[in-house]
């Protein structure tokens, strides 16, 4: 009786397995490693907040200093969020009846904080100190982008370990004069490399690369 399938068809299962495990397997692994990284999963994260707060209005048009709301950023590891009373310094008079500020008025009446949704979130196993970076001359926009132009704040950088290490290994592009630290629209001039080198030498900036610097 004649064979239905040719002899070479015996190799089909082997070829299929070779393709699945030899090509598709590593390919899928590479795709997950690349596209599931914070650069793709975290950048652009823009949650809906309980109050439609516009940084473009407050920090941009009205030119409020970052430290008015994030008062601890120069002294603490965390930047801190403004308590309700800080917001009410203005909004006792400005748009005091606006329906958009209902959550703010409720917060004041109940003496409970506004339930802001956190956007920039470093894992618990990693330590980051805002004050150290501010004192070193790293501007807010290096991590947060041009917040003063954002109607709704979104995460601008991946905040991944590789991203942090890139800065620690080459901090000069992120160093700026002290008077420009809170200017989120600041761009380095053509001679920035020279200025950054002077800042690094003057402040003795030597970012650590050891694991214990961030994993304590």
Coarse DSSP helix, strand, coil percentages of the chain, rounded to the nearest 5 percent: 50, 0, 50
Helix intervals (H) in 63-101? 66-69, 84-91
Instruction: Report CA-CA distances (Å) from 156 to 39, 42, 46, 105, 160.
Output: 9, 9, 10, 30, 12
pLDDT of residue 78: 93
Confidence bin at 168 (pLDDT 50/70/90): very high
The pTM for the full model equals 0.80
Domains of the chain, residue spans = 14-41, 55-63+72-81+121-213
pLDDT of residue 27: 66
pLDDT of residue 189: 84
Judge whether residue 126 has pLDDT over 60. Answer: yes
């Amino acid at each position: 009786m004649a064979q239905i399938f040719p002899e070479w068809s015996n190799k089909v299962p082997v070829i299929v397995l070779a393709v699945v495990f030899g090509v598709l397997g590593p390919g899928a692994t590479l795709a997950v490693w690349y596209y599931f990284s914070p650069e793709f999963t975290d950048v652009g994260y823009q949650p809906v907040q309980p109050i439609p707060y516009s940084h473009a209005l407050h920090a941009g048009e009205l030119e409020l200093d970052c430290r008015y709301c994030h008062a601890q950023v120069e002294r603490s590891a965390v930047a801190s969020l403004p308590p309700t009373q800080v917001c009410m310094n203005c909004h006792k008079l400005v748009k005091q009846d606006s329906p958009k500020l209902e959550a703010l008025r409720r917060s004041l009446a109940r003496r409970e904080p506004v339930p802001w949704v956190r956007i920039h979130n470093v894992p618990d196993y990693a330590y980051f100190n805002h004050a150290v970076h501010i004192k070193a001359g790293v501007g807010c926009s290096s991590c947060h982008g041009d917040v003063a132009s954002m109607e709704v704040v979104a995460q601008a950088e991946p905040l991944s370990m590789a991203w942090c290490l890139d800065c620690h290994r080459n901090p000069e592009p992120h160093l700026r004069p002290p008077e420009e630290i809170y200017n989120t629209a600041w761009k380095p001039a053509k001679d920035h490399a020279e200025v950054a080198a002077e800042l690094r030498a003057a402040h003795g900036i030597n970012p650590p690369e050891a694991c214990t610097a961030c994993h304590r």
